[in-house]
Amino acid sequence: MAGQAHPVSPLALPLPEMPPVPGVRVATGMAEIRYRAREDVMAMAFPAGTTVAGVFTKNRCPGAPVEWSRAALKGGKARGLVVTSGNSNVFTGRAGRETCARTAEEAARILGCKPREIFLASTGVIGERLPTEKLVGALPKVFAAVAETGFEAAARAIMTTDTFPKGAVRTATIGGTTVTIAGIAKGSGMIAPDMATMLSFLATDAKIPAPALQALLKKGCDRSFNCITVDSDTSTSDTVMLFATGAAKHPRVPAEGGAILKDFARALNEVLMDLALMVARDGEGAQKLIRIEVTGAVTARSAHRIAMSIANSPLVKTAIAGEDANWGRIVMAVGKAGEPADRDRLSIAVGGVWMAREGGVVDGYDETPVVAHMKGREVEITVDIGLGRGKATVWTCDLTHGYIDINGSYRS
């Protein structure tokens, strides 16, 4: 049935304590868009002057909320956010666009701002009209409940097939002043990197101009969310947004950012990486987290493509699910990536044990420690291409019967 609960991933991590972020008020509520008797709407309210950054899916069939938020991002200012789960408002034509407009207009009326200062995101089933009246009708009650606390409930309200809520927090200093960065995410399936890979919302009390904020978020996503994959499918709704309320009092940050944001960038990158790895840990049906490191490629970009070819290979992922040390499948995935590679220079290790070097099995290779490593919850694969200095690291999960069970009954 819709919204059916699945067993919590054995790779799950506990939700950390999520302290308030000055200037951010959060609330959740029920609109019963698809799920019954659970919160499925999350809203945030921000003070005037809040800046915003965002990265979105590269899928050529994006949802109406993605198109709305992309357009709104050009203004660089935000006063509100509305997120719904259960229906992605994708492939819904004019009706989808009208739902977005009405949602933004109602939120703007409540908050006393312009509709283009309201950002939207939705996740769930594709191709079904989102019940506009239910959503719009729920907004007054949801926004009436906004409070400084509430990130924990927000992380749960945006879940679909997720088995655990995802959140992360860090502090940083800007000119000697401490600021907070907190974020939540949802994602479990239809996860492949292309500018976001799911839904994630971050907020900080720092005062950072939109151009600098955008540059930091884009770079951080490339190092985190764009380095994970569950099933090679890029969602139509992928969205990551970062809101800066400016409540903290610190030295002025120039539009281009610069050295003053060095520690902020460090903290932001840590939050993004925490959230990205939680998504990989919650891959639909996942039993193992897989780290893939590629070195010796001709360029870093080439290394990333090779790593993703391995991470997205159903044969590699099922071998790991079955705890089968079949390194031949890794060779196959390297070769099909379409990147420069030389069979006779290729080296492969699992769990730190080199299995193959220079196109053949290592003399005296003992599979015993590799098999023992593969029985654990976290598996490490290392590949050296032997052609250059390019390197990359990506994360994925194994492919089990659970993935089929979850997705085979997703709409029923």
How would you classify the pairing of strands 353-357 and 360-361? antiparallel
Q: Which residues pair with 45 in a beta bridge?
A: 25, 80
Neighbours of 251 (CB within 10 A): 10
Q: Which of 197, 236, 239, 295 is catalytic?
A: 197
User: Buried (b) or exposed (e) across 219-233, using 16+ Cβ within 10 A?
Assistant: ebbeebbbbbbbbbe
Q: What is the three-class DSSP state of 360?
A: strand
Q: What value, to the nearest 5°, has the Cα angle with vertex 245 and ends 278 and 118?
A: 80
Q: What is the three-class DSSP state of 81?
A: strand
**Helix ranges restricted to H, 177-299:** 210-223, 262-281
Confirm whether residue 378 is marked as ligand binding: no
Quickly tell me which residue has 């493509």 as its tokens.
Answer: 305
**Residue 257 CA from chain centroid, whole number:** 24
Confirm whether residue 339 is marked as ligand binding: no
Confirm whether residue 177 is marked as ligand binding: no
CA 280/CA 165 separation, integer angstroms = 13
Number of alpha helices (DSSP H) and beta strands (DSSP E) in the chain: 11, 15
Confirm whether residue 412 is marked as ligand binding: yes
Amino acid at residue number 405: D
Q: What is the three-class DSSP state of 182?
A: strand
Q: Which of 197, 230, 198 is nearest to 400 (CA)?
A: 230
- 59 and 234 Cβ atoms separated by less than 8 Å: yes
Amino acid at residue number 234: T
Confirm whether residue 163 is marked as ligand binding: no
Is 382 an active-site residue?
Answer: no
Confirm whether residue 284 is marked as ligand binding: yes
User: Which residue ranges make up the annotated binding site?
Assistant: 160, 186, 197, 284, 407, 412
User: Which residue ranges make up the annotated binding site for substrate?
Assistant: 160, 186, 197, 284, 407, 412
| Residues tagged active-site | 197
